Amino acid sequence: WTLVGCTVAPGFEFAAFELAEPGWQPKQP
């Protein structure tokens, strides 16, 4: 994961981001 992802994504999205496969991105509004 990246610091940018940590800053941009909400807590629950960030938790999923760590477990997500490479190249996965959080949903955008």
Rounded-to-integer distance, Cα 14 and Cα 19, Å: 9
Q: What is the pLDDT of residues 1-29, one digit of tens each?
A: 455 544 554 555 555 555 556 666 666 66
Rounded-to-integer distance, Cα 24 and Cα 29, Å: 16
Question: Looking at residue 3, what is its pLDDT?
Answer: 53
Domain extents in the chain: 1-29
Question: Looking at residue 1, what is its pLDDT?
Answer: 47
